[in-house]
Amino acid sequence: MAAAALATARALVVLTLAAAALPALAASQPWRHGTDLAPIFERMVERRLDVPDFERAAYAERLDAAFAQAGIALTRPQYVLLVDRDPNVQAAFVYWRDEGGRWHFIGAAPVSTGRRGGFEYFLTPVGVFAHTLADPDFRAEGTRNEFGVRGYGERGMRVFDFGWVMGERTWDGGRSPMRLQVHATDPELLEPWLGEARSKGCIRIPASLNRLLDRYGLLDADYEEALARGARLWVLAPDRTPTPWPGRYLVVVDSGRSARPTWSPPPRARPTPEAGDC
C-alpha cells in the first residue's frame, strides 16, 4: 500500500510539473499563422471590444483605402495597428495582413485620442504613420506630474514614438507639428476613461495592449532589422517573443459617425479634474 501511494504521489508530481511547463512550451512553439495571435490577444488584453463581423470588414476596407491614399504597397504579411479617432468610437484594432493581401481581425480595445480643448490640445491626425528608429521608443519612468498623474503609465511601459507630425490645433483651427505617440496611461486616474477623447493628441491605450504590442513586437519591423544587423537596442524587453510578421504602421481613421455603436460603449468613469498630461 505504501509503495502504491508513493508511486501515485510521484505520478502527481510529474503531472504537476508537466502542467506548469505547458505555458513555456506553448510560448516556444513556432508561429503557424498570423491569426494565432487572436487567442493570445483575448487572454492578455483586459479591456476588449466585441466588434461585429460587418464592422471588422468595414475597417479592413478603411485600411486598404488608407494605404492606397498614402501610396504604400504592402508586400509581405504583417501586423498593423488601426485607430478610429471618431469621438463616438475611440478604439484601436489589431489586424494581420496575410500573403494574399487579406486582412484578419485580431482584437480591439478602447483608446483615448486628442480632444478639442485649450492651448496645446491637438486632434490626433489621420493617415498612415511609420514606426521607425528615426524616433526611438523609450520606457515610462512611472513618475507623477504636478497633477499627480503618471502620464505614460506605470514604470516600464513602452512608449511607441512616431515622431513629429502635422496636427490640427484645437484652440484656433490652425496646423502645426505635434509629437505622435502611442502609450499607456495612469492606471487609476486615466485608464478608466479610455473610450473617450481626452488626450492632447497622443493615443492612450490599455496597459495590457501596450504589453501585447511590446512582447510580440507587432510594430517592430525596423527594430528587428536593426537587431539582425547586430544593433543593441536597450528598449526591447529581454523576455519578448517576437512574431515572424512584424509591422511598422499605425493607421488613424475617422469613421464619421453620428451615434455611438453598441460595441464601443462610453467609459463609466466618474469625472476627475483635468490632469494636464499628454
pLDDT for 118: 86
In this structure, which amino acid lies at residue 150? R
The reply to whether 240 falls in a domain is yes
How many domains does the chain fold into? 1
pLDDT for 108: 98
- Residue spans of beta strands (DSSP E) within the chain: 78-84, 91-97, 103-110, 122-123, 127-130, 138-139, 158-169, 175-183, 203-204, 249-253
**Nearest partner of 249 among 158, 129, 106, judged by Cα:** 129
The reply to whether 129 falls in a domain is yes
More confident site: 119 or 253: 253
Name every residue whose Cβ is closer than 8 Å to that of residue 214 and which is 6 or more positions away in sequence: 158, 237, 240
The reply to whether 232 falls in a domain is yes
The reply to whether 54 falls in a domain is yes
pLDDT category of residue 126 using cuts at 50, 70 and 90: very high
**Terminal Cα distance for the chain, rounded:** 68
User: Does residue 17 surpass a pLDDT of 80?
Assistant: no
User: Does residue 271 surpass a pLDDT of 70?
Assistant: no
Structural domain including 68 reads 35-253
- Grid coordinates representing 220 are 517592430
Each residue's pLDDT tens digit, 235-261: 999 999 999 999 999 999 999 999 999
pLDDT category of residue 3 using cuts at 50, 70 and 90: very low
pLDDT category of residue 215 using cuts at 50, 70 and 90: very high
The reply to whether 6 falls in a domain is no
pLDDT for 11: 37
The reply to whether 278 falls in a domain is no
- The rounded distance, in Å, linking the Cα atoms of 80 and 24 is 26
